[in-house]
Chains A and B, each alone.
Chain A
Amino acid sequence: MVLRLIERTAVLLASLAVSSVLVFAFMAILPGDPARVALGVNASDEAVAELRRQFGLDRPLTTQYFEWLGGLVRGDFGTSYVSKAAIGPQIFDRFQVTLWLVVAGMVVALVVAAPAGTVMAARHRKVSGLALSAVSQLGVAVPAFLAGILLIMVFAVKLGWLPANGWTPPAQDPAMFLKQLVMPALSLGLVQGAVLTRYVRSAVLEVLREDYLRTARAKGLRPFPALWRHGVRNAAVPVVTVLGLQLATLLIGAVVVERVFVIPGLGSLLLDGVSNRDLLLVQDVVMVLVIAVLLVNFLVDLLYVALDPRLRVGSR
């Protein structure tokens, strides 16, 4: 157990280190320098040189990299070349917004997929495979931003039940916050839920064929309690893998969905950064997103161990 934790942590740290190099190198070795990019083509050479000096861009790349990395570790994301504002607090604020979206989307996906997949597995002779793949294929084919637009058409335009877009912090107005959260969460979650349903179904089908479920029935448990007590945890292992991958998808999906619903999250920050040619901001946001994806993978790995005692090294 401890061994595995150490191993996974080492892999996480190595991945973080390598990806930070990749992100930095990508932004650093670009044609043209960030100061020139920030100031525009018409800026004077003196102004560019001044900006380079101001932000330490005239120093060797390795120094710049370690400075940046050291800052990241301390939670200091540096200062924007364009707005001259500290980047850290912006990322922190925006990340909370995106986190709400991702979590709400995940909840929607699970609420859809867990019961639907289980029922479909339990009645797999009655639900035709074709109907099922039609639903999940449709889920994959409709990207989150398209789902968002369709939802707006129905719930905001046609029915007028929900605001078409916007964002209110939960502390400010909880009711409005929830109203505005519904559609982004659905557009992120329904699509993923359709995909997840398929995995839940096959995981539950697999478990239903297991001998230990027959043992549970032979003990006197009725079909559903047997599945609940002995199946859920075993079926969760493969589902968690997919869930981890989907969290990453949701995080990226949120970037686009924020555009659809005009939500000030990490995605909007990233896109604003790109249009303002604020390269350090872009670099930081990309790094934060990559860190989030890697952390999710790490947590999924740990969750396996919690779910499946066979993976606990040293317990044998």
Chain B
Amino acid sequence: MRRLNPSLIAGGVIVGLIVVMALVSFVWTPYDATLVNPAVRLAKPSWEHWFGTDKFGRDVLSQIMVGSRTTLFVGVVAVGVAAVIGVPLGILAAMSRRWAHELIMRTNDLLLAFPALLLAIMFGAVFGASTLTAMIAIGIASVPSFARVIRSGALQVMRTEYVLAARAAGRQPFPIAVRHVLPNVTSLITVQASVSFAIAVLAEAALSFLGYGTPPPTPSWGRMLQESQEFLFSAPRLAIFPGVAIAIAVLGFNLLGDGLRDRFDPKLEDRR
């Protein structure tokens, strides 16, 4: 019987709450998150506006709620892109001959020299800043770490007796990859997806903070943080709310990844 560990529970609860918040925001928010109301500019937290309002009189709580959609959306697409490219690449590397394997992994290492943020800024420079370019850039930048993790898992699977037996029986590489290797690296994929999600949330926040992520008026935690900067002296709470939201989201996905890792393989604990 596998026990539930505290990381898994804490991570699961945090991520669950963010998902619920995002879902709720589709049907209900205290106010329209993009509604400008000059009458209540920079209002302090109150019963009407729990988290106060920003410089345009927009409700901060509503923006945080809708912002969680942006965060999750970017994360899901970025991780999806990374997994769809990285997983086959990792398995391919593990199953290839020596020189092909070397070539794939060397290229992979090289791509690690292009961090997500740098890639996203390049994409922004070329295609213009938008949520889409940010998602794709972050996704592509996450491919190398995906490929690396999946490769090492797939290499282990390739050494198992059932794969050796399948190869001895003359099975083609592709069926082996789909039937034997892929199912046995799903736990690794899950863990890596969770970790990559955290990185994607961070990268999106940083990009939006720099002005190269989600364009206005769509609420985004990173941009809320950037907009708050001019009020650091007068209304620091404007920075606190989105800042805490970002930190909690990243914490949640990291904890979830840690918890999943421990659950799938307790031996790996503390090995990072």
Contacts and interface: CB of A to CB of B under 8 A. Distances in A.
In the complex, are there CB atoms of A and B closer than 8 Å?
Answer: yes
Interface of A: 11, 15, 18-19, 22, 26-27, 30-31, 129-130, 133, 137-138, 140-143, 145-146, 149-150, 152-153, 156-157, 164, 198-199, 202, 248-249, 252, 255-256, 259-260, 270-271, 273-274, 277, 279, 282, 286, 289-290, 293-294, 297
B25 to A, nearest CB: 22
Listed from nearest, the 4 A-B pairs whose CB atoms lie closest are: A141-B251, A141-B250, A30-B126, A274-B125
Contacts of B250: 140-143
Given A140-B198, A157-B236, A297-B113, A130 B118 contact: no
B229 A149 contact: yes
B160 to A, nearest CB: 28
A252 B118 contact: yes
Contacts of A249: 115
A256 B206 contact: yes
B114 A149 contact: no
Contact of A143 (B109, B122, B246): B246
12 contacts: A18-B107, A137-B251, A140-B198, A145-B209, A149-B239, A252-B118, A255-B118, A256-B209, A271-B212, A274-B121, A274-B124, A279-B126
A146 B246 contact: yes
Contacts of A31: 127
Given A137-B254, A149-B229, A15 B113 contact: yes
Contacts of B122: 26-27, 282, 286
A195 to B, nearest CB: 10
A139 to B, nearest CB: 10
Nearest to A158: B236
Nearest to A144: B206
Given A141-B250, A143-B246, A256 B225 contact: no
B209 A279 contact: no
Given A149-B232, A153-B232, A15 B110 contact: yes
Contacts of A297: 113
Contact of B117 (A18, A133, A256): A256
A19 B119 CA distance: 12
Given A15-B110, A138-B251, A141-B254, A153 B118 contact: no
A164 B232 contact: yes
A142 B201 CA distance: 11
A28 to B, nearest CB: 10
B209 A270 contact: no
Given A142-B247, A150-B243, A274 B212 contact: yes
A130 B6 contact: yes
Interface of B: 6-7, 106-107, 109-110, 113-115, 117-118, 121-122, 124-127, 198, 202, 205-206, 209-212, 225, 228-229, 232-233, 236, 239, 243, 246-248, 250-251, 254-255, 258, 270-272
Nearest to B107: A18
Nearest to A198: B272
Given A255-B117, A256-B206, A271-B211, 15 more contacts: A22-B114, A27-B126, A137-B258, A143-B205, A143-B246, A143-B250, A146-B246, A149-B225, A152-B232, A153-B232, A202-B270, A256-B117, A274-B212, A282-B122, A297-B113
A146 B78 CA distance: 22
Contact of A153 (B127, B225, B239): B239
A92 to B, nearest CB: 20
Nearest to A270: B121
A25 to B, nearest CB: 11
Contacts of A252: 115, 117-118
Contact of B113 (A26, A137, A290): A290
B126 A294 contact: no
B145 to A, nearest CB: 11
Best-buried of B125, B246, B258 by chain A (most CB within 10 Å) = B125
A220 B198 CA distance: 48
Contacts of B198: 140-141
Contacts of B115: 248-249, 252, 293
Contacts of A11: 106
B126 A26 contact: yes
Given A157-B233, A252-B115, A143 B206 contact: yes
B124 to A, nearest CB: 6
Contacts of B118: 252, 255, 286, 289-290
Nearest to A293: B113
A145 B251 CA distance: 16
A279 B110 contact: no
Given A140-B254, A153-B232, A260-B229, A146 B113 contact: no
A149 B243 contact: yes
A141 B206 contact: no
A60 to B, nearest CB: 21
